[in-house]
Structure 1
Amino acid sequence: MAVIRLWHVAQSRSFRVLWFLEEVGAEYDLVACSFFDRSLRDDAHVARSPAGRVPAIEIDGLPMHESGAILLYLAEELAPHLRIAEGARARAAFLQGLHYAETLGAHLANLTQHHIVLREERMRSPTVMRLEARRLENALRAIGPDWVAGQFSVADIALGYAVWMAQRFVTLPAPAARYAQMFTARPAFQRAIQKDGPAQIYTQEFYPPPEG
């Protein structure tokens, strides 16, 4: 059994790894961190994650710090049923879904920056906020209603997290909403939500784009 330690901030991309660990019933140490102190910038954490972010994970002493890479590696090592093998017909859809999560993530990062991180109104761009919300809505049209590769996989964990966060900023298209109903009903997702910790980033249920 692998010895796993996960550095985690509630509601962040490290939730993807937390969810995976619950899906496979792994034993792990969860180290709760915060964006609002200096702990992610200290030398020890930067050695694990050069950008000073989460997730950071150690698997039998091996450090990793990119959530998509972590998901694929852990699936290969611990849960082959949560990946699509090389040469399989659904492999392309699997890889597409795993990486499309980062397309959604880019829009989510911009929206989070403007709605939450830039706390003073004068720092925010209403134009960017409206534009990114529209771009996110358009990108979500490619999601759902079924599992990305025909069966649940780590691609759905990556995408599912992005869709879950997208609901803070836009109304999900109907297929994406059905997809969200599927993954949020999974017992492992519900266990991960319970372990995620108090909200640190998104303290409102919804952040509408400014009128204009």
Structure 2
Amino acid sequence: MIRLHHCPQTRSMRSLWLLHEVGVDFDVVVYPFDKTLREEPYRSLNPTGRVPTLEIDGIVLTESGAIAEFLCERFPAAGLGREPGHDERAAWLNWIHFAETISQHCAALTQQHVALREDHMRSPIIMQLEARRLAKTLATVEAALSGDYLLSSFSAADVGVGQAVYMATHFVRLDSLPRVAAWYARLQARPAFQKALPAGPVLYARDFYEPWEVTP
């Protein structure tokens, strides 16, 4: 039995996308982006009240990077991992976890623009700083891309970083990042990516959120 606990437009999207890429049967439990994640019965499964949570044959995993590694090891025929000893193993691992470096800035900006609902609670300085930091992480991806994918062929690394870029595009434009833009367009065309997109209510009400100007 494989069951993913998921909230649309959050980090759990990368686990959902990866499951579709692997091509196995699984169930999805969808939650709203609210206090439901901090209540029973979900709280007993994941006390931090966050997503993703993956249940697989009696095992519970709650970190998207760990989920990616586990699924690739569990289903090697999908060809999305890089086993120990592979020439690309170190780079694959680094990209799997670099997705979280991107996502931490997306999360900070999401909090400022979306979760803090009152204007007086938001900080223009934090918005601008985090947008610049996020742009720097995308520049790292731009500099590394030399082919169609992050490695010699499509892998779970593209899923993890690609989902982080999906979130990042709500706060940083890709106009000055042509390699990232072309790579991301290839990822968007994949059927598994399409299946991972939200079908109902979304977290981001707008396509793009401009940082506020700092007023004197």
Q: Does 1:186 align with 2:196?
A: no
1:35: Cα distance to partner? 2.1
Unaligned runs of 5+ in 2: none
Deviation per residue, 1:104-150 (Å, 9 max, x gap)? 01111110111111111111110110111111111101214442222
Contact 1:16 1:157 in 2 (8 A): yes
Runs of at least 4 residues off by over 6 Å = none
The amino acid across from 2:167 in the alignment is M
Counterpart residue number, 2:96: 98
Give the TM-score of the pair, scaled to structure 2: 0.91
One of 200, 207, 210 as aligned partner of 2:209: 207
CA distance in 2, matches of 1:168, 1:14: 17
One of 16, 19, 43 as aligned partner of 1:18: 16
Unaligned runs of 5+ in 1: none
1:157: Cα distance to partner? 0.9
CA distance in 1, matches of 2:129, 2:201: 26
1:45: Cα distance to partner? 1.4
- Greater alpha carbon shift after TM alignment, 54-63 vs 136-145: 136-145
One of 40, 56, 59 as aligned partner of 2:56: 59
1:44: Cα distance to partner? 2.7
Contact 2:38 2:47 in 1 (8 A): no
1:102: Cα distance to partner? 1.0
Aligned sequence identity (%): 44
1:50: Cα distance to partner? 2.2
1:25: Cα distance to partner? 1.6
Counterpart residue number, 2:45: 48
Counterpart residue number, 1:70: 67
Counterpart residue number, 2:122: 124
Give the TM-score of the pair, scaled to structure 1: 0.92
1:46: Cα distance to partner? 2.0
Provide the aligned C-alpha RMSD in A.
Answer: 1.4
1:174: Cα distance to partner? 1.5
CA distance in 2, matches of 1:147, 1:84: 14
CA distance in 2, matches of 1:179, 1:199: 27
1:31: Cα distance to partner? 0.8
Aligned residue pair count: 207
